[in-house]
Amino acid sequence: MRKSDKSTKNYQTDTRLVNTGRSSSDLECFVNPPVVHASTVLFESTEELFSGRAKYHYGRRGTPTTEALTDALTDLEGAHGTGLTPSGLAACSLALLSAAKAGDHILITDSVYEPTRNFASVVLEPMGVEVDYYDPLVGSDISKLFKSNTTAVFTEVPGSQTFEMQDIPAIVAAAHAHDILVVLDNTWGTPLYFDAMAHGVDMTIQAGTKYIVGHSDVMLGVVSANEKAWTRLELVHGAMGYHVAPDDVYLALRGLRTMGVRLRQHQKSALDIALWLEARPEVDRVLYPPLESDPGHEIWKRDFTGACGLMGVVLKNCTKKQTLALIDAFELFGLGYSWGGFESLVIYADPRNYRTATVWDEPGQLIRLHIGLEDVADLKADLEKGFAALSSTEG
């Protein structure tokens, strides 16, 4: 974990992904950094140990391997520094712990990733942090919810199950007028499609498990911060003892190099399938901001430069039993949590179970799809199998 002074901002995105965090001259001319397995770092003398001049001090606090990834991510985010955590949830937790202490008040979007909500109720509230949830569509009116002890607003764009688009510039303007930090879970957009720092966000989070790694084989979280938020974030990161194993960091670096190519294909396939689903008689609506029919489309079009493969589908005139029959009939859409890997996935979702500030009142059943890298024709055929099972199942 460290701040980076290396920038590739003058290059296009794919060129940046290939080159950022990598210097062959520092690596004896090898393309990739070494995978350093380390705990203890040896010093030449007591003078060197106590001077603080040594580049590395202990394996948990950074190696050439972790430095390559944090340098790359800091560069891509346009941030001051980046910390790595063992999972996306750990990244959300780290950001919140660095933004709030006992006696503080924070606001969290009601559309937040449910484990983040659980962290707030299990850890933050018992330790004396006051937590309130807000309507993700509140925009600049969020200022009406601020208290004298509000220290942070936690945002997520779009919501991970219901896909509301938040007006981040409006929230940032309102929060910064009161010296309140804005934290964003940017896993859906990634810095490739939403430049969080340029929009004024103080800390931006990615579940690197998803599109950075891209192959469903590594757990990783990332928090990047601007200069204002970095000092506290770095301090809490060290105090919490967060560390990511070197082999996992290496796999994340390898995934990062092809992230642009993969995301373009995810987006292309997802938009194709979203449009196809909109025309299906079994579908009430598709929750995917790039669609012109999506309520958040104008914000997405204004602030984002692309989209990933994750969407929601509200089904029409069916029961939960029929929806589960649809899911069980799939062969290519795997049934499992997470997303962002090369494979397509599906889960059943019911936001009614956790909403507190707003009401999810869609009459239809909701499923969430992640569109992977399979051929679109095969995925449509698989969806057809599911719809056939739905139609043949009695409610």
Question: How far, in Å, CA of 123 to CA of 104, rounded?
Answer: 14
CB 189 within 8 A of CB 259: no
Catalytic entry in 16, 210, 257, 262: 210
113 annotated active-site: yes
Sheet holding 130-134, edge to edge: 81-85, 221-225, 203-206, 181-185, 150-156, 105-109, 130-134
Question: How far, in Å, CA of 20 to CA of 6, rounded?
Answer: 8
Beta strand ranges found along the chain (DSSP E): 81-85, 105-109, 130-134, 150-156, 181-185, 203-206, 221-225, 283-287, 310-315, 334-335, 345-349, 366-370
For the CA atoms of 279, 283, 285, 291, the dihedral, rounded to the nearest 10 degrees, stands at -40
- The per-residue DSSP string of 192-224 comes to HH--TTTTT-SEEEE-TTTTTT-SS----EEEE
Catalytic entry in 185, 202, 248, 294: 185
Question: How far, in Å, CA of 170 to CA of 112, rounded?
Answer: 18
Distances in whole angstroms, Cα of residue 285 to Cα of each of 162, 281, 292: 12, 10, 12
60 annotated active-site: yes
Cβ burial, residue 102 (10 Å; 0-12/13-18/19+):
exposed
Catalytic entry in 113, 133, 134, 288: 113
- Exposed e or buried b for every residue in 63-78, given b needs 16+ CB within 10 A? bbbbbbbbbbbbbbbb
Structure tokens at 153: 């607003």
Owner of token pair 């679109």: 376
Sheet holding 345-349, edge to edge: 283-287, 310-315, 366-370, 345-349, 334-335
| Segments in 177-319 forming alpha helices (H) | 190-193, 227-240, 246-257, 259-278, 297-303
The amino acid occupying position 153 is V
CB 154 within 8 A of CB 131: no
User: Which residues sit opposite 132 in a β-bridge?
Assistant: 107
- Residues with active-site annotation: 60, 113, 185, 210
